[in-house]
Structure 1
Amino acid sequence: MTEAALRAARANVDEIAALIDWIGDDGWTRPSACAGWRVVDMIAHLGAVATSIVAPTPPDPDAPPMPAERERQHDVLVDRRRSWSVEEVVGEWRTNTPKLLAALAGLQQGEAAAKEVTLPGLGTYPQHMLANALAFDTFCHLRNDLLRPAGPLELDLPEPDDDRVRPAVEWMLAGLPQMQGPELTTTVVAPITLELDGPGATTVTVLPAEAGGLLGVVPGDGGDVRVRSSATAFVRWGTTRDGWREHATVVGRAELATPFLDTLNII
């Protein structure tokens, strides 16, 4: 299944733990590269995600309903922790992240691995791919929002390798047909091949949806229109942290790829 994704998630978590130990008092309130979130808010987000899975609390009947959009749900959870001290934020993350990793380890084999789970606003996936979701979330926030060159912090870590990038890209490609629904589906009218090189390299083709269905994402080269980029850059522009034109090249009829590339926004 996706034991490789679980290993990547564990490695990312270890690096986040090293970053937490390294951050000085003045580092916690620096703005991250995620608009509106400070460094401490980014750790609060990661802790909140772990808690929501391994130690969910009953809904407060007096609390306003969570917004339907997944990104806004994250904002709400972070906002609820803005009054917390750094120690409280880090304590939640340190307590529940190991529990989350242990829970994900139990979803890598047998019937539990193949059982499907629906994540509000994100789509439906086999449970073993939740390890990919964590690998993506930790990699993306650590490497793109916290650490330089885009983030405010500078910690000497090895360059991302295939073992780190590939599970994150796998999650992005699994979510691509589902996360935006018709907004993205209608932009693909001919096969578009994504050629991603470097660590995490892969080639897939995005196929137009059949009537009432979702886009297809299949391995290999299946289209005359090609979008070429590094896989690490795809993590940035595929999540709209950068514009795709900064990193990707279109070969073939650009007018067929541009609406798709302009709309894509994986979370």
Structure 2
Amino acid sequence: MTRAGLAAARSSTADLAEIVLRTDDGQWELPSACAGWRVIDVMAHLAALASEAVHPPPPDPALPRNRERYHDLRVDERRDQSHAEVLDEWRHSTPLQLDLLEAAQEPPGADEPVEVAGLGTYPRHLLANTMAFNVFCHLRNDLLAPDGPLPFTLPEPTDELVAPAVDFMLAGLPQMQGPELTATVGDPLVLDLTGPGPTTVTVLPATGPDGRLTVAPGTVADATTRVHSTALDFIAWATTRKPWRDHCRITGDAATATPFLDRLNIV
């Protein structure tokens, strides 16, 4: 099970709660590093995710299929709310979300597949990593300086915070973009991530009937092209928050890696 994901989600949530206490009314209105969203809008996004986890809305075919546009819609629904209302929703729903994620670590339901609209299908226990990724990424990249506007600091990220976020990203990589990303991988491509949360995986071309890429642990024997980055930077560039060219070093055939790196956009 992904109890490490649950622990990371709890830890990053506690870090965010500390930042919330230190943020004043003027700072809530500052533009975050997430394009089009103020600081309070990032909190509205996290509140919406938590509320929907606790009380899943019925399927609605009229809603955007693109996950980013869906998130924009949910944020827009909360733009007329006061700061206090947004924060109250986040404070109310987040502990309930964490309780659900803890229960999801237990059999028999832990391995039950759960579809996350626009993002793919995951075993229920891995949803803890989804929250670990969301909170960590928004807090560290969109809210806090140097990339975000809030002039507060937290302890340096640890393996325990970074690795679960990266694990979710790698689980989502073959699913989120479908054929448009699959078409960029014709040969095995190694991702070698260092620093806190280190891991090495190989992205393999699609061979099965589902037409999806495969992310395999380690390095396969015939992989000759590698992308080197820190895991922390991976969280930023693989979500297109930062240009991959500023944070990656390619060894082997750059032409093998470049189309994949240009297209990758993990939500």
> Normalization by structure 1: what TM-score?
0.97
SS at match of 1:36: coil
SS at match of 2:79: coil
User: 1:132 aligns to what?
Assistant: 129
Whether 1:200 and 2:215 are equivalent positions in the alignment is no
Question: Identical aligned pairs, as a percentage?
Answer: 55
* Structure 1 runs of 4+ with >3 Å offset: 56-59
SS at match of 1:176: helix
User: 1:229 aligns to what?
Assistant: 229
User: 1:4 aligns to what?
Assistant: 4
User: 2:100 aligns to what?
Assistant: 103
Q: Which residue identity is paired with 2:126?
A: M
Task: Tell me the alpha carbon deviations over residues 88-108 of structure 1, each in whole angstroms, 9 at most, x when there is no partner.
Answer: 000000000000000000011
Partners in 1 of 2:77 and 2:58 — Cα distance? 15
User: 2:25 aligns to what?
Assistant: 25
User: 2:115 aligns to what?
Assistant: 118
User: 1:182 aligns to what?
Assistant: 179
Change in Cα spacing, 1:262 to 1:72, as seen in structure 2 (3 Å) is: same
Partners in 2 of 1:121 and 1:56 — Cα distance? 15
User: 2:53 aligns to what?
Assistant: 53
Post-superposition offset of 1:58 = 5.6
Partners in 2 of 1:190 and 1:118 — Cα distance? 29
Partners in 1 of 2:20 and 2:62 — Cα distance? 32
Partners in 2 of 1:57 and 1:204 — Cα distance? 35
Aligned residues, how many? 264
Task: Tell me the alpha carbon deviations over residues 69-88 of structure 1, each in whole angstroms, 9 at most, x when there is no partner.
Answer: 01100000000000000010
Task: Tell me the alpha carbon deviations over residues 115-137 of structure 1, each in whole angstroms, 9 at most, x when there is no partner.
Answer: 00011110011000000000000
Aligned residues of 2:133 and 2:168 also touching (Cα < 8 A): yes
SS at match of 1:48: helix
Post-superposition offset of 1:155 = 1.4
> Normalization by structure 2: what TM-score?
0.97
User: 1:217 aligns to what?
Assistant: 215
Aligned residues: CA RMSD: 1.2
Change in Cα spacing, 1:94 to 1:184, as seen in structure 2 (3 Å) is: same
SS at match of 1:190: coil
